[in-house]
Structure 1
Amino acid sequence: MSSEEKRYLWWQKGIIYQIYPRSFMDSNGDGIGDLPGITSKLSYLEWLGVDAIWISPIYPSPMADFGYDVADYTDIHPIFGTLDDFDRLLEEAHSKGLKVILDWVPNHTSDEHPWFIESRSSRDNPKRDWYIWRDPAPDGGPPNNWQSVFGGSAWEYDERTGQYYYHAFLAKQPDLNWRNPEVQEAMLNTLRFWFDRGVDGFRVDVMWHLIKDDQFRDNPINPDYKPGAYLKNLPEGVQLPQEIIEMAEAQMKYLPVYNTDRPEVHDIVRKIRQVADEYPERVIIGEIYLPVERLVKYYGEHGDGAHMPFNFQLILLPWNADEIFHAIDAYEKALPENAWPNWVLGNHDNHRIASRVGRDQARVAAMLLLTLRGTPTMYYGDEIGMKDVPIPPDMVQDPPAKRFPGLGLGRDPERTPMQWDSGPNAGFTTGTPWLPIADDYKEYNVEVERNNPKSFLSLYRALIGLRRSEPALHVGSYKSLPRNGDLIAYERAYGQQRFIVLLNLGNQQQTYTELGDIPCQVVLSTHMDRHGEKVSREVNLRANEGVILQVEQ
């Protein structure tokens, strides 16, 4: 490794693998994944070649939003295990060279958190101002027009104290008042608790929500809003109660300029970063669903914000070569000086990539994710081609799906159990799984795919191995190349090394004619069958194929 390459930190060179703990591996037969289950599969992750695991929330919680309603920030929920189990996982992960990133949920707690129980007990309780309380409007209704992400007003009336509290999500998830210095100190100390234990970083939930307007002004009307737009987008034949229609219309009607992405939020992000900087080589990753020009501000004016504000463009954009190509270029141009890019292809809140674009294109997407400049984040199961799993009505778990049945709003389909083998319940549990297993799990599972040289898993492992072995692919420069049709083309370079990545995002054969008189050889194809092939001037790509070319010196 060159001295130049050594200056990059693990979170810049490495690959992050997200684990949804309820669904990764169950060790005790209760149908729910747990920490000992994750520990038992660390050897698989080491074999796969990833560098860090990010574990979704494992704290004590009533599970109104499956752990994103925290009742204690410094312990483990019994369904996942104990602090001792976590310490064993951390020690075992570190022994295998794997970093451990935890989810941190600073915007809101559970309404069963001791802080909120105190806060709502009386108006003069010392913790009253730890949450956001307001008097009713003159008509007795909510203080303003802010809407909950999960539908309806974001204000919940408390009969005992005669005031409303604010909740950006469920009513059981009251928002903390981050303008209160005591809240800041208490929450930052929860970070230190885990950093002291040896945790390597945090993914920070809904970072752009942390500060709200101190004048509590009404959000403005969306100029693009058209009454009735929600009804026009409903699946044919779906009938909804008027109350639900009105809630959905209200969400579309207002722009959340006063309750999200406030200028003062960057002061809080800077304080979070300062805590991380008290420890060597820790990382802060922000969950931020914003346009790129606003997203990149979370790096901080002087590189003192989040190390990596999550870039979700590959999740949110239509799978179209022209749009994705220009989005990559726009993101690269928008990045502040010395800011490190990152890319995300899937997560626990969005449909799986194989369902969004089909399994053939999901292989191309894997090559895109693992060859772009910056840190890639993978979602468990994507490496074996898992798809969304239909959830029978009596097994629906997710709050939005329960509140708005029949609309496909739930996130359960992308959270189903990991498929380890062809045995009962895909090897995930000896009990009854908390969500159903995919019908095709006997074909798409780790055990079967490890033995198939052309499987999803074999492709992912080959991509990861190539990325890890070639500095040009994990820390090298990025340059877009001329393109045509459904093709995306770009170059990754480091020193004298040069790789050209060609991706066919269409289902027809394409010919890349912009290579010039450059001798290259194919080092990897998503079809896993062209290694060593010599090419120059033009390259033929089959439907749904991506190739990585190494420029011969």
Structure 2
Amino acid sequence: MSPSAESIGRVDSQPTEHRWWKEGVIYQVYPASFMDANGDGLGDIRGIISKLDYIKSLGATTVWICPHYDSPQIDLGYDIADYESVYPPYGTLKDMDDLIAGCHARGLRIIVDLVINHTSDQHKWFKESRSSKDSLKRDWYIWRPAKYDAQGNRQPPNNWRSNFSTAAWTWDEHTQEYYLHLFCPEQPDLNWENPETRKAIYATAIEFWLKRGVDGFRVDTVNMYSKPEGLPDAPILNPDAEHQVAASLYCNGPRMSEYLSEMNHVMSPYDTMTVGECPATPDRNRVIQYVSAASKQLNMVFQFDVVDVGQGKETKYNTVPFNWKLPELKQAINSSQSLIVGADAWTTSFMENHDQARSISRFASDAPEFRVQSGKMLAMLNATLSGTLFIYQGQEIGMINMPESWPVSEYKDVESSNFYNSVARATNNDPKALAKAKAAIQHLSRDHARYPMCWDSTPQGGYSSNTETWMRVHDLAGEINVAQQESDPNSVLAFWRLMLQMRKQHAAALVHGYYEIIDFEDEMVFSYWKKGRGETALVVLNFTSQEQPWTMPPSWQKLGLELVVSTQGKTKDVPDALQAFEGRVYIKNH
């Protein structure tokens, strides 16, 4: 239902505490794929430093660095072997110090990934823990004896499945017990029940980096630290599967608030920001407990509602491409936008990160004739939503998924390969099943975010001087790159810069304002109000490749709404129809 003319000018929100991160624009960098400065075919910290002026020029205020720590790279850096060292191919601690200083010299903040649900199995803590049942660090991880079935066969302690489509338990032959890992077997979960473990985590993973000058953390898997008492079996959702999805049990456990409050206290002497990765949390009240200013736990979280749209229920790949309708996306956005209504809470706006396929390919069209308009329309959507805005490297130039023609062998991510291999085993390499699995991977794989950044049309897209790069450069690097778009005022890059300027200029409505959906049931057009103190914005987005009729109602015309930006480049004399993937923003000053 559309709001009345009277309600458009009324804003019931209360002033919120000003913090530097609220109006921030955070640019996420995946080190391996951003820029290779030393020519070894892998991105590095010096490469990031060389592009800080570019990041600043976008309108970004903060740089987020994905894991830079020393790691065996089984899960591409999220398996940390030493929190106080840098992965040698990326550089050194001195390089990180220079990066921190380089950000601050440009007026940029810097945050890093905080990965503390688990470590690498190569971390010295785990090596000591698995050395003996009598080890002083045995209880730093989660060990359990085996169970046995009626035939005397050894079984894991429970039926949990990991996030990577394997059992969540691995048998350790040396000590004759299982250890828990919610991700890869090489990523054993830390035991947060042990206060000595928590103290060590805070010292090495948090305080070490705060003292070096980082401004905060993106907190990985932030709601998984507290496991349920007794580690019970998960409900059997798939009787044919040996292991069951258990996120409802291991997310949001009984001591989460205690742990996060304790962690917040450690950070309190510093002017930090925290944004937690918060999957499997559909309860709005539970999310608000995490991000309420009064609770002093987290500043904000990434809810997964938006990026889960179109994914399978049991596993994300148990689906087909574009298996969603626009009202589902609208509802998902409403879930995160509603957090600021009637609560002392904050929220986030994002559609891409290192764990997601490219948004143009997922939510619009990457066809050559539509991809630029699609990139602009999605930029408008992201930049007009309330909360702190996150942009993933390459999103600002409209990078798209890897081509369908690339074989499965080009996919490097453990999540993708595990799923494909599990289908192959389960179906005895059935061609139809494998084709369906490949289609799902090509649509949703994390690999699409991880191939190299495209800087120019030179070989390897300007990412590296090496002819061999750790991941293949996109076939369209010559068409979709920074250099080409820098000189094109009609590019996706130019439009992102325009939207970030507008977001800053109209922060009352676009950053802090209340979101109000207009056309929930419409499967073609997405329109909503953003109502803030002193101004109101109307956003209208065509999510189709077809022209859609749209005329502003007479009652709205009387309000004095002014068209300030269109993805078509017009601010007046616009037709009574939205062009393919067109977006418009109207502003009313009260």
TM-score (norm 1): 0.89
Match of 2:248 in 1: 257
Shift of 1:17: 1.1
Match of 1:340 in 2: 346
> What are the residue-to-residue correspondences of 1:491-502 with 2, within 5 Å?
491-502=529-540
Determine whether 1:469 maps to 2:509.
no
AA in 2 matched with 1:501:
V
Match of 2:180 in 1: 166
Question: CA–CA distance in 2 between the matches of 1:542 and 1:254?
Answer: 43
Contact 2:542–2:582 under 8 Å retained in 1: yes
Q: Percent identity?
A: 37
For the structure 1 residues 276 and 135, does the alpha-carbon distance in structure 2 shift closer, same or farther, using more than 3 Å as the test?
A: same
Question: CA–CA distance in 1 between the matches of 2:274 and 2:162?
Answer: 26
Match of 1:144 in 2: 158
Shift of 1:5: 8.7
Deviations 1:318-369 (A, max 9, x none): 5644233334344444556110111211111111012112124332221111
Match of 2:494 in 1: 458
For the structure 1 residues 473 and 48, does the alpha-carbon distance in structure 2 shift closer, same or farther, using more than 3 Å as the test?
A: farther
Question: CA–CA distance in 1 between the matches of 2:486 and 2:117?
Answer: 41
For the structure 1 residues 175 and 255, does the alpha-carbon distance in structure 2 shift closer, same or farther, using more than 3 Å as the test?
A: closer
Deviations 1:214-247 (A, max 9, x none): 312112223xx4x56xxxxxxxxxxxxxxxxxxx
Contact 2:35–2:43 under 8 Å retained in 1: yes
Q: SS of the residue aligned with 1:386?
A: coil
Contact 1:71–1:109 under 8 Å retained in 2: yes
Contact 2:169–2:180 under 8 Å retained in 1: yes
Deviates more, 1:445-454 or 1:316-325: 316-325
> What are the residue-to-residue correspondences of 1:534-545 with 2, within 5 Å?
540-545=577-582
> What are the residue-to-residue correspondences of 1:297-316 with 2, within 5 Å?
297-299=289-291, 302-316=294-308
Match of 1:243 in 2: none
Question: CA–CA distance in 2 between the matches of 1:211 and 1:6?
Answer: 31
For the structure 1 residues 84 and 301, does the alpha-carbon distance in structure 2 shift closer, same or farther, using more than 3 Å as the test?
A: closer
For the structure 1 residues 325 and 58, does the alpha-carbon distance in structure 2 shift closer, same or farther, using more than 3 Å as the test?
A: same
Question: CA–CA distance in 1 between the matches of 2:513 and 2:79?
Answer: 40
**Structure 2 residue aligned with 1:436, among 472, 486, 500?**
472
Shift of 1:377: 0.9
Match of 1:449 in 2: 485
Match of 1:156 in 2: 170
Contact 2:79–2:118 under 8 Å retained in 1: yes
**Structure 2 residue aligned with 1:523, among 541, 547, 564?**
564
Match of 2:136 in 1: 126
User: CA RMSD, aligned part only?
Assistant: 2.3
For the structure 1 residues 381 and 75, does the alpha-carbon distance in structure 2 shift closer, same or farther, using more than 3 Å as the test?
A: same
Q: Any gaps of 5 or more consecutive residues in structure 2?
A: 1-13, 311-323, 366-370, 422-433
Q: SS of the residue aligned with 2:43?
A: coil
Deviates more, 1:306-315 or 1:25-34: 306-315
Deviations 1:17-65 (A, max 9, x none): 1111100000000111000000000000111111111111010001111
Contact 1:478–1:490 under 8 Å retained in 2: no
Match of 1:328 in 2: 333
For the structure 1 residues 361 and 142, does the alpha-carbon distance in structure 2 shift closer, same or farther, using more than 3 Å as the test?
A: same
Deviates more, 1:508-517 or 1:209-218: 508-517
Determine whether 1:57 maps to 2:104.
no
Shift of 1:7: 4.7
Aligned residues: 521
AA in 2 matched with 1:147:
R
**Structure 2 residue aligned with 1:503, among 529, 536, 541?**
541
Shift of 1:434: 0.8
Shift of 1:461: 0.8
Contact 1:20–1:56 under 8 Å retained in 2: yes
Q: Any gaps of 5 or more consecutive residues in structure 1?
A: 229-248
Match of 1:47 in 2: 57
Contact 1:12–1:374 under 8 Å retained in 2: yes
TM-score (norm 2): 0.83
Question: CA–CA distance in 2 between the matches of 1:71 and 1:331?
Answer: 34
Shift of 1:552: 5.7
**Structure 1 residue aligned with 2:399, among 383, 386, 390?**
386
For the structure 1 residues 364 and 466, does the alpha-carbon distance in structure 2 shift closer, same or farther, using more than 3 Å as the test?
A: same
Contact 1:312–1:345 under 8 Å retained in 2: no
Match of 2:276 in 1: 286
Q: SS of the residue aligned with 2:68?
A: coil
AA in 1 matched with 2:145:
D
Match of 1:549 in 2: 586
Deviates more, 1:399-408 or 1:380-389: 399-408
**Structure 1 residue aligned with 2:461, among 404, 426, 432?**
426
Contact 1:204–1:286 under 8 Å retained in 2: yes
